[in-house]
Copies of this chain bind each other. A is one copy, B any other.
Amino acid sequence: MRVIGLLGLGVIGRALAENLARQGCRVRGFDPSPEARARASAEGIKVSADLADLVQGLAPPRAVLLLVPAGRDVDAAIEALLPGLTAGDLVVDCGNSHWRDTERRSAAMAGRGLGYLGVGISGGEAGARDGPAIMAGGSAEGWTRVGPLLTAAAARFDDEPCCAWLGPGGAGHFTKMVHNGIEYAVMQLIAETFDLAVHGLGLEHDEAADLFERFGHGALGSYLIDITAEVLRLVDEPSGEPFVELINDAAEQKGTGNWASVEALEQGVPATLLMEAVAARSLSARKAAREALRREPEPGPAKGEVHAADLEAALLAGTLVAYAQGFELLATAGATHGWPLDLARVARLWRAGCIIRAKLLSPIAKALERLPEGVPLLADALLAERLEAALPGLRAALLAAAERGVPTPCLAAALAWLDAHRVARLPTRLIQAQRDHFGRHGFARIDRPGRHHLPRAEEAGP
């Protein structure tokens, strides 16, 4: 196999190099940081002294993987590579780039006769080393060159690699962005469920860990549930405190969840859990506002009883809605951008290697295989049946939360989203009336075609 170039030898870069070497690939790496180079060298990675040496050490047509932070670093890396590249070479951005940047770079590279791929890789350091989920987009020809190697390096589920080329341009990075949006929502749902386990069920941390461990054996089984149980069991050695209680609750974020929410707004997709999850992190970090509005919790009336099974049902319903919103965003964006996104393939490749890997993705993948295009995920009979069974638990959990003052933005958004789809008529008809009243915007009627206006008030009222 040819030598492949790897620009960026940080934690993920080195882990991926180790993985690629295991697939029999000869990797040659470079990083502007001498420390990163030394560390990679010590781990047995062949390291170039400078970028020119890296590029010259590769025989054309070259393939260079980028593992550098998203944003200007990627543009700088491409700029630095360009003088050494020749027509037919391929650059593969394996970072968390914004899909619009990937579209722009892809077009610019094509104009120079160079191939470009934007590849989303999920699974963190362990995934990169042992088998991540890989969402590729960009030059189909380029994919024929590095696809087999990345496929070999990816996680597998039921012998199917968790790796696919999903479309041209930014299709891969878009899909990874939606993956991260779902990840934000599911993490927030788990956090809310933990809060309810403490303040609704009165559990101690080890009991909450047991609860999530039990959830992990059921339909909710997933990597994020597993690590939740693990994290809740951690104890701070010197103090003996549950470790999670010592962590500052100002949640941080790197932007992909935000991008997914902005994208949902721009596509007109009501991906409310993705947005609420991003907002919940932002709110948690605005400490001054929180301090100014803090109150002692009110004593909750006792009537809103809640049980462990309700919390499990609530988390299941919420997680199903989070996935449904993510796939709705993918479907809509795929249509808008003309990407041939195979949603069932996306669901299958998320079954292993990535952060949101979960048992639920198997029935979700099957549903997406069965459903005609344009039909929402939760219209699938099997998923609808599970959801129906979980709905009373979601309602009970929200009643308990509202009475006790436990903030549950994502669980509440899930119920609102579901109920808004369930009812035959929404009160938005009143909004249409108001808009016509103050802005003469007009509206459609249900009983005849055309645009209409309100009757003048003085003619209509008594």
Contacts and interface: CB of A to CB of B under 8 A. Distances in A.
A375 to B, nearest CB: 5
Contact of A461 (B230, B271, B328, B415): B230
7 contacts: A195-B427, A228-B430, A281-B431, A292-B376, A294-B421, A407-B426, A409-B417
B246 A447 contact: yes
A290 interface: yes
A285 B297 CA distance: 39
A175 interface: no
Contacts of A262: 262, 265-266
A417 B270 CA distance: 19
B293 A376 contact: yes
A153 interface: no
Contact of A455 (B237, B376, B444): B237
Contact of A412 (B285, B379, B416): B416
A249 B428 contact: yes
A219 interface: no
Nearest to A268: B282
Q: Which of A223, A258, A425, A440 is most buried by chain B, counting CB atoms within 10 A of its CB?
A: A425
B457 A234 contact: yes
Contacts of A245: 429
A358 to B, nearest CB: 14
Given A230-B457, A435-B252, A402 B405 contact: no
Interface in A111-164: 123-126
A233 to B, nearest CB: 5
B265 A275 contact: yes
A319 interface: no
A245 to B, nearest CB: 7
Interface stretch (A24-32, A37-45, A69-77, A184-192): A184-192
Contacts of A285: 268
A407 B422 CA distance: 9
A289 B376 contact: yes
Contact of A413 (B261, B278, B413, B462): B413
A266 B378 CA distance: 30
A429 B375 contact: no
Given A191-B428, A275-B275, 5 more contacts: A125-B439, A231-B434, A239-B447, A288-B374, A405-B419
Interface string A397-421: 0110111011111001101111111
A234 B405 contact: no
Given A402-B399, A417-B409, A419-B405, A432 B266 contact: no
A20 to B, nearest CB: 21
B428 A407 contact: no
Contacts of A391: 298
Contacts of A421: 283, 289-290, 293-294
Contacts of A93: none
Given A224-B434, A270-B282, A251 B428 contact: yes
Given A243-B460, A272-B279, A248 B446 contact: yes
